[in-house]
Each structure stands twice: as structure tokens, then as C-alpha cells.
Amino acid sequence: MIHYTLTCDQDHQFDSWFQSSSAYEKLRDAGQVSCVTCGSTKVRRSPMAPSISKGAEAPKGALTQPRSEAEEAMAALRRRVEENSDYVGLSFAREARAMHAGEAPERSIYGEAKPDEAKALIEDGIPVAPLPFLPKRKAN
């Protein structure tokens, strides 16, 4: 994992983690990296010094607690979604379609969908919206 401080074209700064430098570039080029303050997808990496961890100590600036009003709002949104919706994982498109067709009871859900699945849902008039965060993944 690699940590970047990013800046949008409106000069808002925010932090994010990526699997690799090439993963960041691929997501940025696809318009999937956006400013947490204004939503702009015109984002660049800010110059930064390397951060080296000493043992079990968390590195300075670790993403443990929200540091700004925007980050606190994002954390509150995440809590609200997780507390009031069912996580359906990769079955999101199938579940949303079943609810829209009346084949499954309506409820608030969130999950993951491939870009082509999300596009098909929208084209079919099924109301969906991207969330500005990734779901928490459980490791063994």
C-alpha cells in the first residue's frame, strides 16, 4: 500500500491510500479519484517526504482519525450507511435489480458493482449512486 497526499484543481488537499503507484495512475486516469471536499476528478499528487514507521508505532499522519471537517463528514456518512443499510458485496447489481423488479423486498443496500453493471442499472432506470468510500473488507 502507498499513501499519497493529493491536491485537486481547486487546491483542496486530502490523503488516500492506493495499492501501488500504477494503481493510483490507473484510477486517476479513469476519473475514479475525486476530491473529498468538492468532488473534482482533476487530482494530482502533492510533493511529500517518505514516512518511515518505527516498529508497531503508527506513522505520523496515519489515517486513524478524521483531521478535517470534510473527513469527519465522510466518516459520519460511512457510519450512517453502514448502520442503516445491508452490505450485499459483489451481489449489489443483482440485489438492486431484484428489488426494482419486485422480486425481493425493498431495503437500503450498499455493495460493489463493476462499472458496466452500474451503467446498466442506471440505463434501466434503477436508482443507484456511487459512495465516496470503499467498503471495509474483512481479512481472515
In a domain, 43, yes or no: yes
In a domain, 137, yes or no: no
Structural domain for 90, as ranges? 75-123
Sequence-ordered list of residues with C-beta below 8 angstroms from that of 31, at least 6 positions apart, any chain: 41
Q: What is the pLDDT of residue 93?
A: 95
- Buried/exposed code over 50-73 (b: 16+ C-beta within 10 A; e: otherwise): eeeeeeeeeeeeeeeeeeeeebee
In a domain, 61, yes or no: no
3-state DSSP: the chain helix, strand, coil percent, rounded to 5? Answer: 30, 15, 55
In a domain, 134, yes or no: no
Q: In this predicted structure, which of 24-28, 71-75, 109-113 has the lowest mean pLDDT? A: 71-75
- The answer to whether 87 and 111 have CB atoms below 8 angstroms apart is yes
In a domain, 6, yes or no: yes
pTM: 0.51
Using CA atoms, how far apart are residues 24 and 45, in angstroms rounded to an integer? 10
Structural domain count of the chain:
2
Using CA atoms, how far apart are residues 134 and 76, in angstroms rounded to an integer? 14
- Percentage of the chain beyond pLDDT 90 is 45
Sequence-ordered list of residues with C-beta below 8 angstroms from that of 57, at least 6 positions apart, any chain: none
In a domain, 139, yes or no: no
pLDDT at 58 over 60: no
Give the ranges where the chain is alpha helix by DSSP (H). Answer: 21-29, 69-84, 92-100, 115-123
